Amino acid sequence: MIDPGGMLKTALRSPTGAYRAAVRRRNWLLAKIEYLQAESARWKTAFNVVKAPYSLLRVAGLSPNMAITFLFAGSVVGGGVVVNETLLSERSFSGGSAGVYSAPSDIPTEYSDENNTLRINLGTTPVGEIVIRDVTVGTAYTGSTLPSGQSSVVLIGGTAASSGFTATWLEVGHLTIDRWKCTTFELSDVETHTLNIIGNASDGQSISPTPGVPRRRGIGGGNRADSMQTRGGYYDQIVIAAPTSNVDGKVDVLTLSNISTKGGACKLSRIKAGTIDILLNEFGAGNGFATKEFVVSTSTVYKVANITDNVEVTIAP
């Protein structure tokens, strides 16, 4: 048992000894703290060195998928550090990996090193938010090509009826399309309560939506899935679809921002939304204003519309 009175008596009898004992305890504690700080700095440096090959490949212009594939193909040696297949071994949507994702899973259900498409299949589980930003799509980067038989670089929406399949819709609370660069852009077969088309530039435009009575819309439903977000990367194609027969896809907030495309069309169709924002985009093929590269068709129905400051200017891919 500690005797505070005895410790006080000892300190009074020998103040110098008490002081030296306190200094020893202080120095022991500071030494432990300095050791832990030094170890923390060493581990941080080690992780930065280990991930350096992947970061260098991304800076060189490779997609996340291609960079990881390159690392898997053989160990990458740089600065005396070897990185092999044990690192960065898990593909993920949040990590920017191409593949087919069944929302809201962050891990692809299928992928191929020969197919650099980013596809999200929406089914029975509503998703709170999907965000894709700062990506390049189509033939806009070296070595890229559209999937066989495809003519669109971006496809967003439900699926039309076909033999053996019932048509589906993509239901969205708030859809934002901003700062895209597309050769052509088409919005068709859409119902939205509020339609905002503001500040877009195009090499020919036809904006002809039809007034109607679509309702306000938000996606709830209790057990709604977490968000899916990715930023940066290079893909041959982006697809967000409700492909299962008679099952509509549901996303409360869908944000697609700063997407640069080349080699095909950007198409959005079979969407039911609360609000659609199309803001500050550039569409054009450089072939004159007579050809309409920015099309909002008459099959797009709205209740409230704000369509302002959209201009025709010469824009080439």
* Rounded Cα–Cα distance for residues 265 and 270 (Å): 16
Domain chopping of the chain, boundaries: 4-60, 92-312
Is pTM, for the whole model, over 0.95? no
284-305 pLDDT, tens digit each: 988 888 899 999 999 999 999 9
Backbone angles phi, psi at 131, to 5 degrees: -130, 125
* Burial class of 289 by CB neighbour count within 10 A (0 to 12, 13 to 18, 19+): middle
Residue with tokens 């877009």: 200
Residue 315 near residue 286 (C-beta atoms within 8 A): yes
Copy the structure tokens of residue 187.
């919005």
Question: Mean pLDDT of all residues in the chain?
Answer: 82
14-41 pLDDT, tens digit each: 667 777 777 787 888 777 787 777 777 7
- Say yes or no to pLDDT of 164 above 60: yes
First to last CA, the chain: 82
Which position has the higher pLDDT, 289 or 112? 289
In b/e form, how buried is each residue of 178-193, taking b as 16+ CB within 10 angstroms?
A: bebbbbbbbbbbbbbb
- Cβ–Cβ contacts within 10 Å for residue 54, how many? 19
**Which pLDDT score, from 0 to 100, does residue 184 have?**
95
- Say yes or no to pLDDT of 65 above 60: no
**Which pLDDT score, from 0 to 100, does residue 244 have?**
74
**Which pLDDT score, from 0 to 100, does residue 87 have?**
38
